[in-house]
Amino acid sequence: MKLTDLKQIETPRLIIRPVQLGDEVAINQAIRRSLDILQRWMPWAKDPSLETTKKFIQDAVAARESDHFNDFPVIAINKTTKQFILAAGFNHFSEFHIGTYEIGYWIDAQYSGQGYVTEFVNALTYFVFEYLKGIRVQIATHVENEKSIAVAKRCGYEYEATLKHNRIDCVSGKPADSFLFAMIDAAKIPELEITVTHTPDVSYQKIASWYDEHRSRDLFEKRWLDNAIGYLKPNAVILDMGCGMGEPIARYFLEKKFNLTGIDTCSEFIEMAKQRLPQGNFFVGDMRKLSLNKKFDLLIAWNSYFHLTCDEQRDMFRVFINHLNHNGILLFTSGPEEGEVWSDNGGEMIYHASLSPNEYKQLLKQHKLELLDYVINDKNCNDHTVWLAKYRG
């Protein structure tokens, strides 16, 4: 998985998750309660204003969503009380592209001495090796910061070096040394029960060639495609969300002289589509983050939308209507019932999820999408569950 796929890590006492908008007040209150300690060790604590905290979180969220980040801040919340406990994460000394991570951390002073930081660092270290397949995690701490040094040792980190004059002491303003601790052997991580929740990896990148070879071109979808076409005018504009290599669906629309844009997260699929269907407009994109500043007469998400988590599927309805013209058509497939399943595709396990039919109906109505037709396990369409709606907004 990718770091940006992380939703949360659950430990016996903590919920660890990426920072998000709305965390500002709780974090800033903890900073102010802990100023005496933070200003001894953390240069950023010189400015404890709420405005600075807000900007930090806004910048972190924006960088994460754009997938261009130099650090990855997270927070820990007490599972029972739901109170903010500590803030930490992977700092800018991490080299994410090669799998090396540096952890920094600070705790609300009122929770100090209860083992929360150790529990946090233990969990984050395990997460790096087990889920991110990292090769190294390190902690650099001021040589006089005895509590931070103790955390590193309790979590199985080994002392590697003393870094001479690599920081400025927050009190004296003079050069100071750091101890560098590192973990390169996951077997040395203390045992801790954790559960990681993340956005499933549904990339077809590893199986693009296999899928291209095995994807049926017999257009079993034709009845539904023609049904959607019946609502379109000549030269209508179509957005194919999760277009794959463009065959057979994008090709079918293009051969009927419609203007088609296709997006897919798999770059190999997009290259295939560009080569085979040069009359179309294809690019790499994530439907969840789509913002094209353009509206379409037909949106189709055939066997792609159901690779999103249930929460992401709910959020997608906003994306749908933001890209639909008035009276525009939405055509998508789902599962027949609420649930999550994994299926083997070319040796890779691919994730699928579905809401209940009733919830899809509610979401359509809520977003002013008039349900035109739907069939659960359509026997004339390889048992696909298909939805067709018109936007009345």
SS3 content of the chain, % helix, strand, coil (to 5): 35, 35, 35
* Separation CA 374–CA 132 (nearest Å): 40
Predicted local confidence at residue 200, as pLDDT: 66
Assessment of whether the complete model's pTM goes beyond 0.85: no
**The pLDDT value given to residue 1:** 75
Which residues pair with residue 153 across a beta bridge?
Answer: none
Higher-confidence residue of 286 and 177: namely 177
Residue 18, preceding bond cis, omega within 30 degrees? no
Hey, where are the domains in the chain?
Answer: 3-198, 205-391
pLDDT at 158: 97
Residue-wise pLDDT tens digits, 111-122:
999 999 999 999
Tell me the fold of 205-391.
Answer: Rossmann fold (3.40.50)
Percentage of residues in the chain with pLDDT exceeding 90? 88
Kindly indicate whether the domain formed by 3-198 is annotated with CATH number 3.40.630.30.
Answer: yes
User: Among residues of the chain, what percentage have pLDDT more than 70?
Assistant: 99
Q: What is the pLDDT of residue 393?
A: 87
The answer to whether 307 and 279 are in contact (CB under 8 A) is no
- Radius of gyration of the chain from Cα atoms? 25
